[in-house]
Amino acid sequence: MKIVHQNETKEFKNSDQCVAIEYPMNDKDINAAVGKITGRYPDSNRVVNTKCKELAYVISGSGKVVVEDKEYLLNVGDVVLIEPGERYYWEGHFDVFMPCTPAWYSEQHQEVE
C-alpha cells in the first residue's frame, strides 16, 4: 500500500496555461497528477505521450480536448482516455485528475505539430 499526502505533492509547470500537481508514488507502473488548464495547452501545436495511457477525469470547470483533429467537449464528471502516440491539446478552464500507466515522466511527453 502506498499513500501520498497533499503536502508531499510537487508542482510541475508545463506552461503558463498548464500546471500539474504530481503525487510521487515511486511506482513504475502507475502515477497520478491533478492538471490545471487555464487556456490552451500547448500554446500551439499538440503534445503526444510516447509510452503511457493518460486517463483524465474532469474535476471542475469545462473545456475541450482535441485528439487527432477530433474535438471533444468536456464538463465535470467526464473521462477521457488518451492512448500512447495520439496527438492532442487541451483548451478551457478546468482541472483534471490524471492517473497514467505506465508512470508518466517528462521525457516521454513531447510537443509535436
Record the cell numbers describing residue 108, joined without a space: 516521454
Helix (H, G, I), strand (E, B) or coil at 52: coil
CA 113/CA 101 separation, integer angstroms:
24
Would you state the pLDDT for residue 90? 98
pLDDT, one tens digit per residue, over 41-69 is: 999 999 999 999 999 999 999 999 999 99
Question: Which residues lie across from 81 on neighbouring strands?
Answer: 55
Q: Is the pLDDT of residue 70 over 90?
A: yes
Q: What structural domains does the chain harbor? A: 6-106 (2.60.120.10)
Would you state the pLDDT for residue 30? 96
Would you state the pLDDT for residue 105? 87
- Which pTM was predicted? 0.93
CA 108/CA 113 separation, integer angstroms:
16
Would you state the pLDDT for residue 62? 98
Would you state the pLDDT for residue 106? 85
pLDDT, one tens digit per residue, over 4-33 is: 999 999 999 999 999 999 999 999 999 999
By C-alpha distance, which of 89, 98, 49 is closest to 68?
89
CA 49/CA 72 separation, integer angstroms:
19
By C-alpha distance, which of 89, 88, 63, 85 is closest to 74?
63
Would you state the pLDDT for residue 6? 95
